Amino acid sequence: MDTALEARLRLQILDWVRERAEANGGFLHRQELLSFRIDGHDLPIIDFSRGIRNPAEFSSTLSIVTSASGPYDDAESDDGLLHYAYRKGDPWTGDNRKLRTAMETGQPLILFRKEQPNILTPVMPVYVVDDEPENRQFVIALDESFRYMGDVRELSEPQREYARRLAKQRLHQPAFRTRVLLAYETRCAICELRHGSLLDAAHIVPDSEPLGLPTTSNGLALCKIHHAAYDQNMLGVSPDYRVAINHAVLEEIDGPMLKHGLQEMHGRTIVVPTRAKDRPDRDGLAWRWERFTRA
């Protein structure tokens, strides 16, 4: 395939994945990725059985899939970069060759994080920025700028901090959103709105705090207005799952959004996940509730 044509198709695929993920609530279903078509032709975005997708007509890798077994990606290092092991077989041919070509040409890839069977969170674009034959692995960065930083094994501390901040924004936060929305069956815990594109994963204990981990039990699926109200202490959730609206807001007189969207939520019980381990941590809620009542 012509290099320019491959680059054009790649960008079209990235745009489609971005749009579909946002419509769903930040994730995609395996089947919609396998059944993707472009220009009248089938072009699966992930492989049917392997963790890497190398279309025969592409010179470099299109996507890779990693499995999530905890709140953070197991492949991530303390420098915020990802380490992807060589595929089995000859390190200089096949899948490994196409990953190496992606490094040489700077073509963007899609990283899919498998949160649970058949559910994948896209992180994109990502770039192969180093090849470590001695460790049989490639190094993948979440930003193209790392292609121009020289030896990524010798990053300065500011560069490492930048990489860690990117990982938090582009890897941890989207994965957290996916896990929380799935636990709440893609609906707001307060008003039960079910439009994924209008839902967020709100931290109970903010991620700026030591206990603000990106775990499902530290999250609430909230529509955007309730998330904003929660962050501004206009709305609180007690340790017994009751919604409270700030007294000043309750006394305001405004349009129907204030009345129906906020004031009528006062005293409601939130919807919680089916699995006990996914339900909001009561200690975390108590921590946040104390700050709401003080405000």
Over range 158-177, report the average pLDDT: 90
pLDDT of residue 79: 77
Residues 206 and 169 both lie in one domain: no
pLDDT at residue 176 greater than cutoff 70: yes
Q: Are residues 148 and 40 in the same domain?
A: yes
Using omega within 30 degrees of 0 as the cis cutoff, is the peptide bond preceding 280 cis? no
Q: Mean pLDDT over all residues of the chain?
A: 92
Residues 155 and 258 in one domain: no
Q: What is the pLDDT of residues 65-81, one digit of tens each?
A: 998 754 444 455 677 89
My answer on whether 9 and 151 are in the same domain is yes
> Alpha-carbon distance 292 to 231, whole Å?
9
Last residue of one domain, picked from the residues 124, 148, 180 = 180
User: What confidence score (pLDDT) does residue 77 get?
Assistant: 65
Euclidean distance between CA atoms 60 and 202, whole angstroms: 37
C-alpha angle with apex 14: 11 to 20, nearest 5 degrees?
A: 140
Last residue of a domain, one of 124, 157, 180: 180
Residue 14 is predicted with a pLDDT of 97
pTM, two decimals, is 0.89
State mean pLDDT over 159-167.
90
Note whether 173 and 221 are same-domain residues. no
Q: CB burial class (10 A; 0-12, 13-18, 19+) of residue 31? A: exposed
Give yes or no for residue 289 having a pLDDT over 90.
yes
* Total domains in the fold of the chain: 2
Give Rg (Cα) of the chain.
22
Output b/e per residue, 201-229; b: 16+ Cβ within 10 A: bbbbbeeeeeeebbbbbbbbbbbebbbeb
User: Of 26, 133, 129, 18, which is closest to residue 79 (Cα–Cα)?
Assistant: 129
Average pLDDT over residues 259-269: 96
Same domain, 38 and 56: yes
Containing domain of residue 74, as a range?
Answer: 3-180
Last residue of a domain, one of 122, 148, 180: 180
199 and 175 share a domain?
no
Over residues 155-179, mean pLDDT = 90
Distance (Å, whole) CA 229 – CA 223: 10
Q: pLDDT grade, residue 39 (50/70/90)?
A: confident
